[in-house]
């Protein structure tokens, strides 16, 4: 079945440590997105990529970095500069060409600080 | 810039009662509208979408939403809810200029027996 796989499901970070969240899709989608979800705040866009080797900052990119070396993969690194990283992180993808296409989501990674 | 407002953060309701989850948006251009549902510790699943044509759209599990351009609303309704409908519901608008989805803050639907 086609879909989006996020791993790990739960992740713990020590102070001053960088961690990387994985997102892989086999839907042949060009565009991929990373969101952060906090209680009562909905989803906020961190980074997005519409094509391989290109990506743009979203609304809350500070303290995060991404890469898009392959169409299928869009890993997110939470750096030590992100002072409040505890949240639920969601990856999404969709076809490009028209904004009427919905985004498809993975099951998320919950990041906590030790 | 587009924005989405979900006025109700929580909606408690008894099983088999009707429910309406409200969504209002602001936009200066034509938009596409979506409702997503999120069950605990899971990602978002598309519930239904409005692209064009009939203003009433339906999902396979009994939800429907009506696009009202004059009121800039896209409220979600279900005539009789089940315990299994307990989840968080997000309204979203697609920005045709930036290719991004703008989400509301979500409404938590809690169905009681």
At residue B110, the pLDDT reads: 97
- How many CA atoms does the CB half-sphere of A48 hold within 13 Å? 22
Tens digits of per-residue pLDDT, A103-113?
A: 999 999 999 98
Q: How many distinct helices (H) and strands (E) make up chain A?
A: 0, 11
Q: What is the pLDDT, as a whole number, of residue B53?
A: 78
Closest CA relative to residue A65, chosen from A80, A44, A52, A50: A80
Q: How does DSSP classify residue B51?
A: -
Q: What pLDDT score was predicted for residue A101? A: 83
Which residue of chain A has the CA closest to B94?
A99
| pLDDT > 70 fraction of chain B, expressed in percent and rounded | 100
pLDDT tens, A79-90? 988 888 999 999
Q: What is the mean pLDDT of chain B?
A: 91
Q: Which pLDDT value is given to residue B98? A: 73
Does A1 have pLDDT greater than 70? no
A100 and B51 within 8 Å at the Cβ level: the answer is yes
Q: What are the contacts of A45-49 at 24+ separation with CB within 8 A?
A: A45/B100, A46/A76, A46/A89, A47/A76, A48/B100, A49/A74
Verify whether the Cβ–Cβ distance A99 to B94 is below 8 Å. yes
pLDDT in tens, A23-71: 999 999 999 999 999 987 889 999 999 999 999 999 999 999 999 999 9
| CA–centroid distance for A83 within its chain | 18
Tokens of A11: 């992740």
Question: CA–CA separation, B24 vs A81, rounded Å?
Answer: 36
Chain A contact for B104 (CB, 8 A cutoff): yes
Q: What is the mean pLDDT of residues A3-27?
A: 93
Q: How far apart are CA B37 and CA A1, in angstroms?
A: 21
Cβ partners under 8 Å of residue B92, min gap 6: B4, B33, B34, B35, B36, B101, B102, B103, B104
Alpha carbon distance A84, B70 (integer Å): 41
d(CA A98, CA A88): 28
Rounded-to-integer distance, Cα A88 and Cα B98, Å: 24
pLDDT tens by residue, B79-108: 999 999 999 999 999 877 777 889 999 999
Residue A30 carries which DSSP code? S
CB < 8 Å to B105, chain A: 40-42
B3 compared with B6, residue with greater pLDDT: B6
Q: Which residues of A touch B100 (CB under 8 A)?
A: 33, 45, 48, 58
Q: Which pLDDT score is estimated for B62? A: 93
- Whether B28 shows a pLDDT value over 80: the answer reads no
């Amino acid at each position: 079945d086609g879909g989006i796989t996020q791993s790990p499901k739960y992740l713990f970070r020590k102070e001053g440590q960088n961690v990387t969240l994985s997102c892989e899709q086999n839907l042949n989608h060009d565009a991929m997105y990373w969101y952060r979800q906090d209680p009562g705040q909905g989803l906020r866009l961190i980074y997005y990529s519409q094509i391989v080797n290109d990506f743009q900052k979203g609304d809350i990119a500070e303290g995060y970095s991404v890469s898009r070396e392959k169409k299928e993969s869009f890993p997110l690194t939470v750096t030590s500069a992100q002072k409040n990283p505890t949240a639920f992180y969601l990856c999404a993808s969709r076809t490009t060409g028209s904004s009427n296409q919905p985004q498809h989501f993975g099951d998320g990674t919950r990041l906590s600080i030790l | 810039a587009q924005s989405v407002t979900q006025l109700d953060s929580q909606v408690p309701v008894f099983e088999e009662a009707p429910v309406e989850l409200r969504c209002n948006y602001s936009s200066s251009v034509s938009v596409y509208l979506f409702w997503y549902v999120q069950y605990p510790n899971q990602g978002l699943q598309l519930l239904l979408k409005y692209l064009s044509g009939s203003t009433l759209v339906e999902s396979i599990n009994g939800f429907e939403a009506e696009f009202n351009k004059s009121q800039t609303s896209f409220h979600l309704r279900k005539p009789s809810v089940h315990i299994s409908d307990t989840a968080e519901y997000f309204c979203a608008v697609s920005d045709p200029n930036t290719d991004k989805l703008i989400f509301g803050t979500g409404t938590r639907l809690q169905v009681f027996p």
